[in-house]
């Protein structure tokens, strides 16, 4: 043994007793010289190596650097556990519930208006496990007027998913999607941290109008401007009133110049009057918008299919949400796929429900034929195989008893 190790064993590593200790176990204060020795100590003493916060400490040990470090680590550990528990409760949907979540839970009762609505339209909802994201995001519920509002998931061709809440059962698919697009554009335009508003109020919001109104403009014209009418319409109505006064004055003085003073129409549409708002701009913009806008087709994503491709059910854009979901099954809430492809030109990875049913029918027929053939062969095999004798059964019982007796002897 080396000279430096000739001292007492308490000054050496408690595991190998050959080297000077370098490490100390936080829990039992055992000194070791290396990581392998520390691992051996944990195995031998069944020590987890974690400091015991309830262990007794002398008063002289509290005012030291190690004592302060011990208290600091304990407090930080408690804070970390509280944060983790709070985040886990929030992720699982456990804790305080708002009014919306209470209405959602109330809607899943057996006697609720939502259940009657689902039974009436033969809509089956498959619930996800509690705490899953799809279950927490579902806000489908009945309102006070016994109307049903859905949570709808929109899936675009690029794979982006987005949720839309408070979708009324009677609204059409196209109107819901347009509202959702307006909602997304409104949220993207808002500064970070601002509250989200309803699309109906944000889409009609216009820049602030001046408080003072020009002379000669009726009060009804200002109401139209405040309600969100285009500026060009307001100016046209404002100019029509002085023009009418000038025309009446010219008629009383000299009715002949009326045709020469009236401006010639520059388009096929007549100029705006007081009781008629101009429609030339909307009529000319509509064909351009319809020409530039790509076609959109809506499909309902089917759930619980065994195909590797996603199964889609074509939907009519003018059909209501209830009509689209009738006799269908959804997981928590429906997923509507929006494509620019028609049903006969779906991209790879997607197939129609009709094609899926045909493929399933052919597979079932093949499986039934295979099982029928296997059943016949199994029957012939059963007739050829001899039945088990009673001696084999007694032998198996004797083997079980002998094994049990052997185990009893080992225990003794």
pLDDT in tens, 192-227: 544 444 443 333 344 444 444 444 444 444 444 444
pLDDT in tens, 303-343: 888 888 899 999 999 999 999 999 999 999 999 999 988 88
Q: Which residues contact 105 (CB under 8 A, 6 or more apart)?
A: 97
- Most confident of the ranges 29-38, 288-297, 340-349, 365-374: 29-38
More reliable by pLDDT, 219 or 178 = 178
β-pairing, 297-301 vs 335-339, is: antiparallel
User: At residue 403, does pLDDT exceed 50?
Assistant: yes
User: At residue 175, does pLDDT exceed 90?
Assistant: yes
pLDDT in tens, 13-27: 988 988 999 998 988
| 189: confidence class by pLDDT, cuts 50, 70, 90 | low
pLDDT reported for residue 245 = 43
3-state secondary structure 88-141: HHHHCCCCCCCHHHHHHHHHCCCCCHHHHHHHHHCCEEECCCCCCHHHHHCCCE
Q: Which residues contact 92 (CB under 8 A, 6 or more apart)?
A: 130, 131, 136
Residue 327 CA neighbour count, 13 Å, CB half: 1
β-pairing, 148-155 vs 124-126, is: unpaired
Structure tokens at 268: 């096929």
pLDDT in tens, 274-288: 444 444 433 434 444
DSSP string, 128-188: PPTTSHHHHH---EE-TTS-EEEEEEEE-TTS-EEEEEEEETTSBHHHHHHHHHHHHHHHH
pLDDT reported for residue 60 = 87
Residues above pLDDT 90, as percent of the chain = 26
260, with CB counted inside 10 A (0-12, 13-18, 19+), is: exposed
3-state secondary structure 330-372: EECCCEEEEECCCHHHCCCCEEEHHHHHHHHHHHHHHHHHHHH
Domain boundaries of the chain, sorted by first residue: 3-90
Structure tokens at 381: 């095999």
Structure tokens at 138: 């579902």
pLDDT in tens, 26-67: 888 899 999 999 999 999 999 998 888 888 888 888 888 888
Distances (CA, A) of 61 to 50, 57, 69: 18, 6, 11
User: pTM here?
Assistant: 0.47
pLDDT in tens, 236-292: 444 444 444 444 444 444 444 444 444 444 444 444 444 444 444 334 344 444 445
Separation CA 93–CA 102 (nearest Å): 12
Of 1-15, 218-232, 347-361, the one with minimum mean pLDDT is 218-232
Separation CA 338–CA 295 (nearest Å): 10
Structure tokens at 269: 């549409």
Of 97-106, 153-162, 284-293, 379-388, the one with minimum mean pLDDT is 284-293
């Amino acid at each position: 043994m080396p000279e430096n190790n000739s001292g007492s064993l308490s000054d050496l590593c408690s595991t190998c007793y050959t080297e000077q200790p370098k490490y100390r176990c936080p829990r039992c204060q055992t000194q070791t010289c290396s990581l392998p020795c520390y691992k051996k100590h944990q195995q031998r003493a069944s020590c987890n190596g974690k400091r015991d916060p309830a262990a007794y400490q002398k008063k002289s040990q509290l005012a030291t650097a190690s004592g302060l470090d011990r208290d600091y680590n304990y407090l930080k550990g408690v804070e970390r556990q509280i944060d983790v528990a709070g985040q886990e409760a929030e992720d699982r949907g456990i804790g305080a519930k708002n009014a919306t979540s209470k209405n959602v839970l109330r809607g899943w009762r057996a006697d609720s208006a939502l259940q009657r609505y689902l039974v009436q339209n033969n809509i089956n909802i498959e619930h996800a496990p509690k705490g899953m994201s799809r279950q927490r995001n579902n806000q489908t519920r009945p309102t006070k007027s016994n109307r049903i509002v859905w949570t709808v998931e929109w899936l675009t061709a690029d794979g982006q998913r987005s949720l839309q809440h408070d979708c009324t059962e009677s609204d059409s698919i196209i109107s819901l999607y347009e509202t959702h697009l307006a909602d997304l554009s409104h949220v993207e335009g808002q500064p970070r941290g601002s509250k989200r508003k309803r699309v109906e109020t944000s889409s009609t919001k216009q820049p602030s109008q001046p408080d003072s109104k020009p002379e000669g403009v009726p009060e009804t014209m200002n109401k139209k401007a405040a309600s969100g009418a285009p500026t060009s319409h307001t100016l046209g109505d404002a100019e029509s009133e002085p023009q009418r006064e000038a025309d009446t004055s010219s008629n009383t003085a000299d009715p002949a110049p009326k045709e020469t003073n009236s401006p010639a129409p520059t388009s096929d549409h007549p100029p705006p009057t007081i009781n008629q708002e101009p429609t030339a701009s909307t009529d000319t913009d509509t064909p351009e918008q319809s020409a530039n806008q790509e076609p959109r087709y809506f499909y309902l994503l089917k759930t619980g299919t065994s195909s590797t491709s996603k199964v889609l059910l074509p939907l009519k854009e003018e059909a209501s949400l209830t009509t689209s979901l009738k006799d269908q099954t959804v997981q928590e809430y429906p997923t509507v796929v929006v494509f620019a492809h028609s049903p006969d030109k779906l991209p790879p990875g997607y197939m129609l429900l009709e094609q899926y049913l045909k493929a399933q029918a052919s597979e079932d027929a093949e499986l039934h034929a295979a099982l029928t053939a296997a059943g016949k062969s199994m029957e012939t095999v059963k007739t050829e195989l001899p039945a088990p004798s009673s001696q084999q059964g007694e032998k198996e019982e004797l083997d079980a008893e002998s094994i049990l007796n052997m185990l009893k002897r080992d225990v003794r």
